Amino acid sequence: MIIISACLAGLGCRHDGGSELQEPLAVLMAEGKAIPLCPEQLGGLPTPRPPAQIVGGDGCDVLAGRAWVRTGDGQDVTGAFIKGAREVLKVALLVRAERAILKDKSPSCGLHWIHQGEGLVLGMGVTAALLAQNGIPVEATE
């Protein structure tokens, strides 16, 4: 079983209500080989929602309490991002997921890049970091 970012399966769960359909991943889901999950929704955030960024580090730093996730207007949504990451991890462990394929450049799912300020920086999102810390291989797609 594979965990995939729900937006990559065509589900409208991005912060703007859109999706990032990757047809091969939607096929895996349709074949029963993948489970689509959106950590931000699982954390209790609505869709649509204000875009958020990690401030002060990356997802590893958020999990360690050294960084925060905030919306553009300064709302602290760190708790929701951590809760969503933990829920994704619970599902991954329950279904014995062999890996996760996540949306890069996301404050939740980013593996290589996350948005900070006006650009991209190297770093992991909160969910990608938690899965990796728990031995679940993470791959990224744009």
Each residue of 19-70: pLDDT tens digit? 999 999 999 999 999 999 999 999 999 999 999 999 999 999 999 999 999 9
- This prediction's pTM: 0.96
How far apart CA 17 and CA 40 sit, in angstroms, is: 12
Total number of domains constituting the chain: 1
Kindly state the DSSP code that residue 76 receives in the 8-state scheme: B
How far apart CA 72 and CA 64 sit, in angstroms, is: 22
How far apart CA 24 and CA 34 sit, in angstroms, is: 11
Confidence of residue 96 (pLDDT cuts 50, 70, 90): very high
Place of tokens 């933990």: 86
Q: Structure tokens of 102?
A: 């996540």
Specify which residues 99 forms β-bridges with: 2
Mean of the pLDDT values across residues 90-113? 97
Q: Which pLDDT value is given to residue 117?
A: 83
Q: What percent of the chain has pLDDT over 90?
A: 95
**Residue ranges making up the domain that contains 127:** 2-141
